[in-house]
Chains A and B, each alone.
Chain A
């Protein structure tokens, strides 16, 4: 089944404790992105990638890192999480500029 998977789905952590949210797709898509969704703000793109080793900043990259060492994986790294990074995170992938497929989401709470 074609899908985008994210792990973990839920995470509660404390300020400053490094964490990684994994994202994997099995559709051989070149394009992948990370978004955060906050009430009343819609979705905001954090980072995006057009292919392996090609990543760029979106609207809100501060406090986040990404890497794209393999085509199927695009992890989101929070080196020192802060409470303002409490949010719902979505990973997405697409073939070129076509239909984007979203993962199920990761709800992160930073205390």
Chain B
């Protein structure tokens, strides 16, 4: 059974500092997705990582994928309050894009002044 583990589950960030959150998974998939969810809202796609070594950046967020280590990281640069949210990673279970996905439990991020 595929396991997707996100760490830490809760993270309090200080504005202006850099942080990294982690997504480990137990299969050999090379497709991984990051989503953001604000309280009481739906999920919004952040990044789609489709190969080993893939790196995507948008604003203060940068995601990378290391399929050999079965690890994806989401790096936050100079955290701001607007980045407070829960971040989910999802792994393509069978690795070939057939829409079978497994999600982690999420990283809840709170950015404080």
Q: Are B103 and A44 within 8 A (Cβ)?
A: yes
Which of the segments A17-25, A77-85, A95-103 contacts the partner chain?
A: A95-103
Q: Are A43 and B45 in contact (CB under 8 A)?
A: no
**Chain A 31-61 against B: per-residue CB contact (8 Å), 1 yes, 0 no?**
1110100001111110011100000101100
Are B42 and A45 closer than 8 Å at their CB atoms?
no
Q: A42-B88, A96-B97, A97-B97 are in contact. Are A102 and B103 (CB under 8 A)?
A: no
Q: How distant is the Cα of A98 from the Cα of B23 in the complex, in angstroms? A: 19
Q: How far is the CA of A105 from the CA of B42 in the complex (A)?
A: 6
CB <8 Å contact, A45 and B105: no
A40, B106: Cα distance in complex, Å: 9
Interchain CA distance A50-B99 in the complex, whole Å: 7
Q: Which B residues form the contact surface with A (CB < 8 A)?
A: 31, 33, 35, 42-45, 48, 50, 88, 90, 92, 96-106
User: What are the 8 tightest A-B residue pairs by CB atom distance, in nearest-first order?
Assistant: A97-B97, A42-B105, A43-B103, A31-B99, A99-B45, A102-B43, A48-B99, A102-B42
